[in-house]
Amino acid sequence: MLASVQQLDRMEKEVGALRTDVRKAWEDLVEQIGDLEEWPACHLIGGTDDIFSPHLKRHTRFKGTLFVLCNFVNPRTWATWLLERGSLKDEAACKDVAGILHAQMTGKHWKVSTSLRLARKFTNDKPEKERKHTWDGVGDIGSFQPHRAIVPRPPFDVDPGLKDYWDQAIAMLLGRSKYAVPLRGPQADKWTELLHDPDEDPDESYLRLDELRLDEQELAARAGRYAHNLTLATA
């Protein structure tokens, strides 16, 4: 079932009340998933698996993570939202989500799971002049009910560089900071190293990670390839 008008109205008010950095994290997540009008009601305010909630319990952490992965979200975007929102209340909760990402990344203990995927992920957009609705204009809104789909494994065999996204997201969660990064070299078996000094400007601190930073155009290109490859893999 799609989100109700009441849910969407309440979401608009709640999002507007967020701090700027938290709101930006939410907007980035929505941009990668799709318009809220297309979301299943269960993942918004008042739903059984509300990922906007300021406190995600185990069931919602699991269902929410499957939902974003099923909709081809960059896991780093998901980790950023959870950390900015503060919805993971302790170390155990952070490790829990990191464990889900790690299981999906490695295939170890990963069971075939399904989640709701937005209908537009199954279709190609029509030209703008042919659209009947804001999302992509194919038919009546009833045909845009989310569909259950298998949560795919990342296509690392197609693009090994995609692994960086999972490594970074897991590092952020285990470090409980968006400035946590994976260790490299001889310490690669360890997850994180916090390089952010609270007394420094956060942006300046992040820019010190030259050996780990990727060109923004390359990041955008990889994100596009990631969604494209997963779409092909699940077609």
Q: Quote the tokens at residue 225.
A: 């390839």
Q: What whole-number distance in Å separates Cα of residue 205 and Cα of residue 73?
A: 26
pTM tops 0.85, yes or no: no
The pLDDT value recorded for residue 158 is 84
The pLDDT value recorded for residue 224 is 57
- pLDDT tens-place values along the chain, 235 residues long: 888 899 999 999 999 999 999 999 999 999 999 999 999 999 999 999 999 999 999 999 999 999 999 999 999 999 999 999 999 999 999 999 999 999 988 877 677 788 888 877 765 555 555 555 544 444 444 456 888 888 888 888 888 888 999 999 999 999 899 888 887 655 544 555 444 444 444 333 333 333 333 444 554 555 555 555 555 544 4
Task: Encode burial over 111-122: b for 16+ CB neighbours within 10 A, e otherwise.
Answer: eebebbbbbbbe
The pLDDT value recorded for residue 157 is 84
